Amino acid sequence: MRPGAIVIPISQDVRHSNEYSPDLLADRLMKLFGAGGDAIEHDLTVERRLSAIIQDFFGMARVSTDVQVRSLNEMFNNSRIPSAPADVEGYIDDLYEKVIRHSINTSSPRYVGHMTAGVPHFVWSLGKLITALNQNVVKSETSKSFTPVERQSLAMIHRLVYDFSDAFYDGHTQNRNSTLGIMTSGGTLANITALWCARNSLLRPVRNFRGVENQGLPAALKHYGFKGAVVIGSSLMHYSLSKAADVLGIGAANLIKIPAGPDGRINLPALEKAVAECRSRDLKIIAIVGIAGTTDTGAIDPLPQMADIARRGRIHFHVDAAWGGPFLFSNEHQHKLAGIQRADSVTIDGHKQMYLPMGTGMLLLRDPGAARFIEKHARYIVRPGSVDLGRRSLEGSRSAGALFLHAALHVIGREGYGLLIDEGMRRAKYLADAVKFRPQFELLALPQLNILVYRYIPEQLRAKARTKDLTRSENLRINQINTRLQKLQRNAGRSFVSRTTLDTTCYGSDTPIVALRAIVANPLTTEADIDLVLNEQALIASNLSRT
């Protein structure tokens, strides 16, 4: 699609026939659902076409076309549902032209800007399998064998984090009344579920009071004699924690954000002070949240010290390791996550550094009984004492996506994941060195995990940047250039890094610093790709500074 070309809404030019009699329509529909010989052949046709499209798409190193979002939007403005059925083949041809070509090649070795990457190709067909079998793990009656598969996968990740005894896992892995973990559609739901469990456990039922679960938060605080509820973590917490505080009735403003230092880690004395203050003000601390890999820069909070503070205060300690969790696979780097095993709950995203498809969020629970305070029942399913996973989860009906996790744990294995992590760190170091080597760029934080923040500095300001003597207005000008640079690189579609705004640099929290943010996780990214990304940025920026 060329920019400016005339575009036709997809739902109008797909070949629709208006000449279906009811019988023909019924016949056609039965073919879509049928599992006979026709169906097999049809499936193979569709399969071949889509496989060719996928191969073609991944054949390009580019990130996307240079067609802009605005032109794409115009193609999808029709809000009328087509009346008669369209050809599958015609639909797929259209899909390729109008959608797939203009999607993001998350597998591109030059797409190093977000926590979303390509997936190993053995999971592609598992995606088809999961779609076709359409199991629903909310209950055993709609998933049967996939229920123990999910439980086993979660037990394996639980063991990676907590490493309890054989006896512990023998007793809990397939025990219907134990919850070692909960699969969620993503880290956001995992974080919400963690705080939900913590809230309901801390404000649990007692004599004459049926708990926050039943009576609600206002009544619970009143019953327990608190003036409010809070959650405490660093200022770099993922925005899903604000969402959690909002949803759970705690209020986003009661998510107390302790400033992070220039290293991106929470300030421990400030944390201790906040805990003491909340106590003196009769505020119930629902949880302390530690971060193992901030979204901004990959920094890791001092988990052991935070665990100490939480334990002393008998406060739930949650660790958001959505990004950093898989560093546990690496013998070389797992020490960075020391203390995570002392968390009451841990979020890890399979669709980030475990290279699995979207939708593979996980919450791990130290106490297999912790989720009993969120348990719900119904008369048609998830009856008390049943094996149904839906008894204890925020979501209801869910796919058997845990199979992706199960397969990857076997096909990649612990050593394989360890190597992937080590390689990612090696490439991140290469990028850090490459940034430092180039006079055009300034590294904004030393990388703790494989996330790098840096920025372009125009030539005339480089000397002042080196000595950290830039004025506020110079920094704001540099911000504008970097914002523009990131957008131009993105819109050209050849390579991609993201951007963020830091307030933890040496210029202080008053001077927000726009940063280019690179996430180096794709195993296919080479040193040459990294050079290419930086060279492209330098070129775009030098043109920019000149104008």
Residues in 428-487 at the binding interface with its own copies, rule: CB under 8 A? none
Is the torsion defined by CA of 327, 331, 334, 339 positive or negative? Answer: positive
Rounded CA separation 223/233 (Å): 26
Our CA angle for 403, 377, 198, nearest 5°, is 75
For residues 445-472, one letter each, b for 16 or more C-beta atoms within 10 angstroms of the residue's C-beta and e for the rest, the string is bebbbbbbbbbbbbeebeeebeeeebee
**Contacting its own copies (CB under 8 A), which of 112, 113, 202, 319?**
113
**By CB under 8 A, is residue 72 in contact with its own copies?**
yes
Tell me the three state secondary structure of residue 19: coil
**By CB under 8 A, is residue 426 in contact with its own copies?**
no
Question: Minimum distance from CB of 117 to its own copies (Å)?
Answer: 8
**By CB under 8 A, is residue 77 in contact with its own copies?**
yes
Question: Minimum distance from CB of 430 to its own copies (Å)?
Answer: 16
375-381 long-range Cβ contacts below 8 angstroms, 24+ apart: 381/138, 381/139, 381/141
- Of the pair 46, 544, the CB lying nearest its own copies is at 46
Rounded CA separation 496/114 (Å): 9
CB-facing half-sphere around the CA of 12: CA atoms within 13 A: 10
Stretch that binds its own copies, among 87-95, 303-311, 362-370, 438-446 (CB under 8 A): 87-95
Rounded CA separation 406/294 (Å): 26
**By CB under 8 A, is residue 363 in contact with its own copies?**
no
**By CB under 8 A, is residue 117 in contact with its own copies?**
yes
**Contacting its own copies (CB under 8 A), which of 3, 26, 468, 480?**
26
**By CB under 8 A, is residue 100 in contact with its own copies?**
yes
**Contacting its own copies (CB under 8 A), which of 8, 93, 223, 246?**
246
Is the torsion defined by CA of 58, 63, 67, 73 positive or negative? Answer: positive
Stretch that binds its own copies, among 370-378, 425-433, 459-467, 529-537 (CB under 8 A): 370-378
Question: Minimum distance from CB of 262 to its own copies (Å)?
Answer: 17
Which residue has 């797929």 as its token pair?
92
Number of residues binding to its own copies, judged by CB under 8 A: 189
Question: Minimum distance from CB of 475 to its own copies (Å)?
Answer: 16
Residue 209, beta-bridge partner list: 206
Question: Minimum distance from CB of 305 to its own copies (Å)?
Answer: 26
- Of the pair 148, 458, the CB lying nearest its own copies is at 148
**Contacting its own copies (CB under 8 A), which of 178, 254, 448, 511?**
254
Question: Minimum distance from CB of 502 to its own copies (Å)?
Answer: 8
Which residue has 């180096």 as its token pair?
520
- Of the pair 173, 440, the CB lying nearest its own copies is at 173
Span 487-526, contacts to its own copies by CB under 8 A: 490, 496, 498-501, 517, 522-524
For residues 67-94, one letter each, b for 16 or more C-beta atoms within 10 angstroms of the residue's C-beta and e for the rest, the string is beeeebeebeeeeeeeeebbeeeebbeb
Question: Minimum distance from CB of 300 to its own copies (Å)?
Answer: 17
Angular region, 122: left φ>0, alpha ψ -120 to 50, beta rest: alpha
- Of the pair 121, 464, the CB lying nearest its own copies is at 121
**Contacting its own copies (CB under 8 A), which of 3, 66, 131, 471?**
131
**Contacting its own copies (CB under 8 A), which of 110, 135, 316, 371?**
135
Question: Minimum distance from CB of 344 to its own copies (Å)?
Answer: 19
Stretch that binds its own copies, among 399-407, 431-439, 471-479, 529-537 (CB under 8 A): 399-407
Question: Minimum distance from CB of 412 to its own copies (Å)?
Answer: 6
- Of the pair 296, 529, the CB lying nearest its own copies is at 296
Our CA angle for 492, 454, 64, nearest 5°, is 20
Residue 454, beta-bridge partner list: 443, 516
**By CB under 8 A, is residue 407 in contact with its own copies?**
yes
- Of the pair 6, 69, the CB lying nearest its own copies is at 69
**By CB under 8 A, is residue 334 in contact with its own copies?**
no
Residue 443, beta-bridge partner list: 454
**By CB under 8 A, is residue 397 in contact with its own copies?**
yes
Span 524-543, contacts to its own copies by CB under 8 A: 524
Cβ of 218: how many Cβ atoms within 10 Å?
10
Rounded CA separation 533/80 (Å): 42
For residues 485-523, one letter each, b for 16 or more C-beta atoms within 10 angstroms of the residue's C-beta and e for the rest, the string is bbeebbebbbbbbbbbebbbbebeeebbbbbbbbbbbbe
**Residue ranges of the alpha helices (H) in 203-301?**
211-215, 217-224, 239-247, 268-280
- Of the pair 213, 442, the CB lying nearest its own copies is at 213
Stretch that binds its own copies, among 244-252, 271-279, 310-318, 332-340 (CB under 8 A): 244-252
Tell me the three state secondary structure of residue 116: coil
Q: How far is CA 467 from the centre of its chain?
A: 37
**By CB under 8 A, is residue 136 in contact with its own copies?**
yes
**By CB under 8 A, is residue 274 in contact with its own copies?**
no
Question: Minimum distance from CB of 6 to its own copies (Å)?
Answer: 17
Angle between helices 527-546 and 472-492 (to 10 degrees): 120
Span 215-234, contacts to its own copies by CB under 8 A: 215-221, 228-229
**Contacting its own copies (CB under 8 A), which of 7, 43, 430, 532?**
43
For residues 30-39, one letter each, b for 16 or more C-beta atoms within 10 angstroms of the residue's C-beta and e for the rest, the string is eeeeeeeeee
**Contacting its own copies (CB under 8 A), which of 7, 8, 86, 270?**
86
Stretch that binds its own copies, among 134-142, 434-442, 530-538, 539-547 (CB under 8 A): 134-142
